[in-house]
């Protein structure tokens, strides 16, 4: 990642955030250990993904009849949003809040996320003295999560069973390819649009007025929910979102504090364990 992405601008915030990131890293590690120990019996989530859309979209409903004019408008809106997505790598300074589903406590930290659209994403959160406390690298089919201070590392692939209890989906879905998929059904009014997308084995339902996005992703019985506000999906300071893992209740709150003007170091997107790659 670029040098500018490595240290927050506010030294006081770094010191206060250091205590938070130690607890945050501990929370992530505890979630990993809990998911491994509990196997197929996850603890009931504190906040279910469906709560952010005020209802369960799986309830029975008739498929609506969509006229050609409405279908054309929906396709144009989706195409316009896709055209606004970044095409080149970028870096955002972010504030992250991870909610422990066992206690409901929120642990916050600052860091940076580097994104190479449709290729790879890298999230680094800072600890005491600006050291790397949490490092998450994600591609479409691989991931690596590292907590250096605890000597912990977890690797996995595309299988959802390997990401249980971890916020991997936030990076893999929303940062890498938020609007991927074939448009299956859409409704549009003057104020908003609703899209049903099919992306391989996943089905995504998204409602948006162009500034606020509420989405549910379902795949093999696994559920993820996301709410994002930010005047579109282009990287922008002030954008914020909330991601919820519907199985484990893991919640991640994201606030974009700054979008850096320089592209990240290309090595930020390589496997961190490959020779010649630095964290």
Q: How many domains does the chain have?
A: 1
CA torsion sign for 18, 151, 36, 278 is positive
Give the pLDDT score at 60. 55
Q: What span, in angstroms and rounded, lies between the C-alpha atoms of 86 and 119?
A: 12
Residue 268 or 45, more confident: 268
Give the pLDDT score at 61. 55
The predicted model scores a pTM of 0.77
- The verdict on residue 273 lying in a domain is no
Give the pLDDT score at 58. 52
Q: What span, in angstroms and rounded, lies between the C-alpha atoms of 71 and 73?
A: 5
- The verdict on residue 272 lying in a domain is no
Burial (CB count <10 Å: 0-12, 13-18, 19+), residue 266: exposed
Q: Whose CA is closest to 14, among 92, 95, 90, 114?
A: 95
Give the pLDDT score at 5. 42
Lowest mean pLDDT among 8-12, 57-61, 205-209, 222-226: 8-12
Residue linked to tokens 């589903």: 101
Lowest mean pLDDT among 170-174, 198-202, 271-275: 271-275
* Interval 219-226 mean pLDDT: 89
- The verdict on residue 154 lying in a domain is yes
Give the pLDDT score at 137. 95
Q: Kindly tell me if the per-residue pLDDT of 224 is higher than 50.
A: yes
**CB 143 within 8 Å of CB 168:** yes
Lowest mean pLDDT among 59-63, 75-79, 175-179: 59-63
Domain encompassing residue 178: 3-56+65-265
The CATH number given to whatever domain includes residue 207 is 2.50.20.10
Average pLDDT, whole number, for the chain?
Answer: 79
**CB 121 within 8 Å of CB 175:** yes
- The verdict on residue 83 lying in a domain is yes
Q: What span, in angstroms and rounded, lies between the C-alpha atoms of 239 and 218?
A: 24
Give the pLDDT score at 24. 52
Read off the pLDDT of residues 121-141 as tens digits, 9 standing for 90 and up: 999 998 777 788 889 999 999
- The verdict on residue 165 lying in a domain is yes
- The verdict on residue 141 lying in a domain is yes
Give the pLDDT score at 245. 85
Residue 3: enclosing H or E segment and its boundaries?
none
Q: What span, in angstroms and rounded, lies between the C-alpha atoms of 226 and 117?
A: 19
- The verdict on residue 275 lying in a domain is no
Q: What span, in angstroms and rounded, lies between the C-alpha atoms of 53 and 207?
A: 9
Read off the pLDDT of residues 67-112 as tens digits, 9 standing for 90 and up: 899 999 999 999 999 999 999 999 999 999 988 777 888 888 899 9
Give the pLDDT score at 231. 82
Q: Which two tokens stand for residue 203?
A: 């089905």
- The verdict on residue 270 lying in a domain is no
Beta-strand relationship, 222-229 and 240-245: antiparallel
Read off the pLDDT of residues 9-46 as tens digits, 9 standing for 90 and up: 444 333 444 444 445 555 555 544 444 333 334 444 44
């Amino acid at each position: 990642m670029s040098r500018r992405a490595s240290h927050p601008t506010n030294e006081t915030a770094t010191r206060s955030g250091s205590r938070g990131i130690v607890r945050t890293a501990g929370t992530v590690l505890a979630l990993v250990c809990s998911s491994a120990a509990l196997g197929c019996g996850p603890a009931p989530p504190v906040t279910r993904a469906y709560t952010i859309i005020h209802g369960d979209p799986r309830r029975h409903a008739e498929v609506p009849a969509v006229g050609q004019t409405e279908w054309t408008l929906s396709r144009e809106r989706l195409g316009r949003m896709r055209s606004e997505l970044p095409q080149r790598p970028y870096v955002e300074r972010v504030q992250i809040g991870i909610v422990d589903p066992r206690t409901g406590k929120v642990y916050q930290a600052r860091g940076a996320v580097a994104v190479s659209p449709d290729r790879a994403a890298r999230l680094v959160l800072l600890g005491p003295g600006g050291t790397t406390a949490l490092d998450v690298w994600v591609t479409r089919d691989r991931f690596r999560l590292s907590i250096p201070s605890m000597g912990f590392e977890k690797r996995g692939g595309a299988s959802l069973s390997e990401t249980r209890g971890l916020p991997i989906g936030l990076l893999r879905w929303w940062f890498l390819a938020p609007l991927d998929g074939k448009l299956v059904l859409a409704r549009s009014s003057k104020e908003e649009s609703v899209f049903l997308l099919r992306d391989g084995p996943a089905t995504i339902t998204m409602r948006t007025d162009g500034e606020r996005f509420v989405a549910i992703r379902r795949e093999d019985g696994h559920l993820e929910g996301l709410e994002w506000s930010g005047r579109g999906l282009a990287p922008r300071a002030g954008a914020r979102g909330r991601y919820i893992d519907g199985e484990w209740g893991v919640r991640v709150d994201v606030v974009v504090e700054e979008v850096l003007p320089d592209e990240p170091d290309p090595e930020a997107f390589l496997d961190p364990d490959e020779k010649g790659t630095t964290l």
